[in-house]
Amino acid sequence: MKNVLVALSLFVGLFVHADEGMWFLMFIDRLNQRDMEKMGLQLTSEEIYSINNSSLKDAIVQFNGGCTAELVSDQGLVLTNHHCGYSAIAELSTPENDYLTNGYWADSKKDEMKPNSLYVRFFVRMDDVSQRILDKVNDEMTEDERNAAIKEETKKIEDENSENGKYVVSVRSFFQGNEYYYFVYQDYTDVRLVGTPPASVGKFGGDTDNWEWPRHTGDFSMFRIYADREGNPADYSEENVPLKPKHHLPVNIQGVEQDDFAMILGYPGRTNRWLPAGGIDQNVKFAYPAWVEASKEAMDVLKEYMDKDNGVRLNYASKYAGIANYWKNRQGMIDALTKFKTAETKAKNERKFNKWGNKKKNANYSDVIKDINGYYALTNDKARHDNYLRMIFRGSKFATSSRGLGAQLAKYAASDEEQRAAVKPRLGDMIKGFIASTHIPLEKQMLFEMIDLYAQKANYELPASISNVNDLKAHVSAVFELSILTDETRMLSFLEVPNGELLENDPLMLLSDEFIAHYYASTDEIDAAKDKYDRAYRMLVEGMRKSKLSPVKYPDANSTLRLSYGKVSALPSDPKNDAKENYYTTLKGTVKKYVPNDAEFDLPKGLIELYEKKDFGPYADKEGHMPVNFLTNNDITGGNSGSPVLNGNGELIGLAFDGNIEAMAGDVIFDKKLQKTINVDIRYVLFLIDKYAGANHIVEEMTVIK
């Protein structure tokens, strides 16, 4: 309790703008409740987060480890973004039944489809274990010793709270290792596709409109969670039943107005608001440019083959979308951080910190900035190298063979006959599935192009196997021809006669092992600098909080459940937006962007017909327009995709799905004037389900407030 009070004392009195911050639910009552009530919140903190009673947190799930989703019915119905369900929808699609392109709505529960791998994670509770963990470390420890002690205590805490494996428990570090909290979760793995709009709606605007406003995208999809008859998690079975959740969100179709209260709960992935100036400079000048260039190269290879073959397009659609998203994100970060001179602002504040740290009473902090900057100066070139190399792993399935399918085969070869017999059918299915979803000519060219770019641009020591290769293209081609991992027959034959030595000397396994080892390779000089850096960064955050010099008062996002709050908020008027006010868009603007047969701006004929008839049902606004997207000033980041946007009564008014390009530096610094969250209006979601798709039975499941 003492540590909690200390943490709270650092928050209280240092409050920033209400729209900034991603807050722990357990501190809502003390830190945010009164401020939120002034803005329009009608709920108590207990109705938002309760351990013993149902609350809002019971309706929010992490979706497949990377997005957020929410329960919207008492039958386990889950709503998230289209781009969050994208890989599952693509997996279930075939050229004959292309649900990704054409959309899909299950007529009944028996028509709901189970992807191979999809899960949701419920948040059960959290608690502060800072004092317990920090009591195990001291200033005399090296960073390795410190990390070992923390790891040991973390394991004990996780074991104590898992209830013999019933729950997933995660102890997480906050404020760069100055505080620790544990989180208890429960996972459900039987999650089935209920419905999705066609990609021309769910991905309308494509890469062109990504991170841009005004937006006109119906970015949503729906799934259902199944459980055993007692409501417990269970593997897929026809005997499973829809989950009856502790809480589901009512859906409010009364509409939004400017300055309405807006609250978002979700799982933001990663922010770096405490990142030092040297880290920002390293990203902008070394790491991100390499990422952007390599991403574009990977996208070009993917697009070349996807445009030729519909089956290839479906198999690689999710990978292309993911790379394209980060390509634009990283370029936007470079532009925004450069434009707003974010590193210079941070450096100025760090000079103030240095003066504070050089006072006699603060002597422990005197070398903090020096050690941080020394590490970045030493690793700038490595950061560029690592990002070119990282994109080889992201672009090519085979670059990580030794950690994926190859590792499974190696384990199989090392097992006894009984163990092999038990896993052989599963491995056979895995091999067939891998080859069926893999286009070898694409993969061969991808690996060549990625390695070629890396070798030319990394400006750093290369892996030995490629440093003296005269004909890289021929080398990569030979690797593919000789590897058993590129051929289904060879891999299935390996299951019949496993040979560990053969696999150890497989050219793709050797390449993968070498490249991964090279990525993680270091030097004694870098290791020593990293040891100093880790300690210095932790002390920087501690000192910034103690000195009150930092404008940031909350922990960075790290995929744990957070709450952000603000208001429906407009940008300055924009001639590209046909709406009356520039905080929302309508279907009129969508149709205006329509380009027949265009990959990004095509629209289904049925949707255009509904627009021409103005047949919007009960979902139109007061002036008869069909709302599509709207803006709020909530603080979100990647991982918040699919998060519910709630009004003051905890009712669903939209889904968060994007941010604006002008505030792309938001992961590092929050700009209260520019930063916006782009949301799908829940009225557009219900209109598409009901009027366009004719799936009114889905709407009838929900608690709709008119």
Condensed to tens digits (0 to 9), the pLDDT of residues 543-574 reads: 999 999 998 888 999 999 999 999 999 999 99
H/E segment holding residue 194: strand 190-196
| H-type alpha helices, 169-287 | 199-202, 206-209, 277-282
Q: Which two tokens stand for residue 557?
A: 């996002």
- Set 19, 50, 73, 83: catalytic member: 83
Residue whose structure tokens are 């008839």? 613
Distances (CA, A) of 176 to 15, 66, 267, 306, 350: 20, 22, 19, 42, 17
488: amino acid identity, one letter? E
Q: Which two tokens stand for residue 357?
A: 């740290």
Cα separation, 656 vs 68, in Å, equals 9
Cα separation, 706 vs 704, in Å, equals 6
**pLDDT the model gives residue 133:** 98
Q: Which two tokens stand for residue 343?
A: 């590193």
**pLDDT the model gives residue 30:** 82
Length of the chain: 706
- Set 50, 93, 512, 641: catalytic member: 641
**pLDDT the model gives residue 538:** 97
Nearest Cα residue to 558 out of 176, 210, 244, 299: 176
Residues 646 and 251: beta-carbon distance below 8 Å: no
Summarised one tens digit per residue, pLDDT across range 31-57 is 889 999 999 999 999 999 999 999 999
Residues 413 and 499: beta-carbon distance below 8 Å: yes
Cis before 644 (ω within 30): no
- Set 19, 219, 556, 578: catalytic member: 219
Residues 56 and 265: beta-carbon distance below 8 Å: yes
Residue whose structure tokens are 């990004």? 600
Q: Which of 145-160 are b and which e, b meaning 16 or more Cβ less than 10 Å from the residue's Cβ?
A: ebeebbeebbeebbee
Residue whose structure tokens are 């079975």? 237
| H-type alpha helices, 227-287 | 277-282
Active site residue 641: yes
Q: Which two tokens stand for residue 525?
A: 């000089």
Q: Which of 88-116 are b and which e, b meaning 16 or more Cβ less than 10 Å from the residue's Cβ?
A: bbbbbbeeeebbbbebbbbeeeeebbbbe
Residues 279 and 271: beta-carbon distance below 8 Å: no
3-state helix, strand, coil in the chain (%, to 5): 50, 15, 35
**Bridge partners of 631?**
678
678: amino acid identity, one letter? I
408: amino acid identity, one letter? Q
Cα separation, 512 vs 400, in Å, equals 5
Q: Within the chain, which residues score under 50 in pLDDT? A: 1-18
Residue whose structure tokens are 């005399």? 140
Look at residue 499 and give its three-state secondary structure. coil
Taking every pair of C-alpha atoms in the chain, what is the biggest distance, in angstroms?
76
**pLDDT the model gives residue 665:** 85
| H-type alpha helices, 596-674 | 605-613
User: pTM, whole model, 2 decimals?
Assistant: 0.91
**pLDDT the model gives residue 662:** 81
Residue whose structure tokens are 């309405």? 260
Nearest Cα residue to 60 out of 554, 701, 562: 562
**pLDDT the model gives residue 468:** 85
Count of beta carbons in the 10 Å neighbourhood of residue 258: 14
Count of beta carbons in the 10 Å neighbourhood of residue 35: 12
Active site residue 524: no
Look at residue 682 and give its three-state secondary structure. helix
| H-type alpha helices, 162-262 | 199-202, 206-209
H/E segment holding residue 445: helix 440-457
Active site residue 17: no
**Eight-state DSSP code of residue 392:** H
**pLDDT the model gives residue 17:** 45
